[in-house]
Amino acid sequence: MSAELLTILMFATLMLSIALGHPLAVTLAAVATLFGLIDNGGNVPALLDLFVNNSWGIFQNYVLVAIPLFIFMAQVLDRSKVSEGLFDALYVVLGGLRGGLGLAVIVVSTVFAATTGIIGASVVAMGLMAGPALLRRGYDRGLAAGIICSSGTLGILIPPSIMLVVYGGLTGLKETSVGNLFAGAILPGIVLSGLYLAYVGIRCAINPKLGPPIPAEERTYSTGQKVAMTLKSFVPPFALILTVMGTILAGVATPTEAAALGCLGAMVLALFNRKLNWEVLSKACDSTLRTTAMIMILFVGGKLFSVVFLSMGGGDVVADLLLGMDVNEYVVLAIMMAVVFIMGMFIDWAAILLVVVPIFTPIAMDLDFNPLWFAMLVCVNLQTSFLTPPFGYALFYFKGVAPPEYTMGDIYRGIIPFVIIQVIGLALLITFPQIITWLPSVFFAG
């Protein structure tokens, strides 16, 4: 059987299995086993040897030790209610503006993203805090849902991000080390957050009914009180961000060591908030164990899939198809980004990375694209996967905790402008690659 036919059948089988609802990790491993046996003529010992060697390589990857540490940090912060104080402060400071409460949600989500790196924690926390508050203040339900869901997805991009750790562990390239990825993701995350703020501010300025300000009679805090509230709630999480990111960017600590410092910092913040107790720690550990196990089993299944796919020549088939097209290299880039975007509608981000990174990264390098720049385009693109129907996880996270007034119709209607904004942000990163490459060149020029 030709490599071209095997490639088509392997992808078709994967898509069909996912559509039927089978678990991703099992699906990836099962498809890899089936087509690995077809390709090698049913040689089971050779296929098992291939699987064992590559699975063992995953568990020897030191970078991946950062994953459970960052997850534990996020879980402790989520349960210590660090974000609630910041939301209350910004509610007072920005509430007098048109769309001010929505702007506060975006700012808090941006800060929270830089301390958690987990989408579920950000969206659920903001859904519980801001969902009812936006309703009470008369915000349009679609706009409110779009604000919470889209700003909550910043946690997958703004470091410390689990996705960036996974990406760095997959490539093994110096250019896409976790430190470089963290530095490269800071400005794109800020750009996307800024685009969200601009959209909400402009739209509510044009139509105040969408996001009315807090009535003047309720704005009783003095300027000094507002400043004190903001500093009190902002300084602790900002200090944690500096602890984690500063040590990485300064070259003082590896991402794994910085993640351990982040865990310690998160427990200190929980202690100051009087939330550090056995219940918080036990639940944080339990969630960390479950999430880490899920990610690692996906890693194994995805690695088996990519190894079989590449060994049977599938990578060469895709590369020859894309590189053999008589078109500009940016057309090839657009095709790869479109593939990632469409896959994001149906497949979890981790599975997408495990499938496309081994295939697309060599193609990008053959086209002389900066590997760090290309990696960040993929990661920004994957942020849309949490918002695009039918399987946008952020939408279901929010629906699960939101008041019943928010219908799925409201949520789908509300996220459309923010998906468009994310595509605009992706276009800006393609047009101005310095947004991605500048900070890594400052911190890691040597």
Q: How many domains does the chain have?
A: 1
Here the tokens at position 103 are 């702007």
Tell me which residue has tokens 């590896």: 254
H helix intervals, 384-433: 393-401, 408-431
pLDDT value for 83: 65
For 58-110, give the secondary structure using H, E and C. Answer: HHCCHHHHHHHHHHHHHHHHHHHCHHHHHHHHHHHHHCCCCCHHHHHHHHHHH
Distance CA 397, CA 376 (A): 25
Residues of the chain under the 70 pLDDT cut: 1, 82-85, 116-121, 216-221, 390-391, 445-446
Q: Which phi and psi angles does 96 have, rounded to 5°?
A: -75, -10
Distance CA 293, CA 235 (A): 33
pLDDT value for 119: 66
Domain boundaries, position 306: 3-443
Tell me which residue has tokens 């660090």: 82
Tell me which residue has tokens 């990111």: 245
19 CA to centre of own chain: 23
pLDDT value for 295: 74
Burial bucket for residue 286 (CB in 10 Å: 0-12, 13-18, 19+) = exposed
pLDDT value for 7: 80
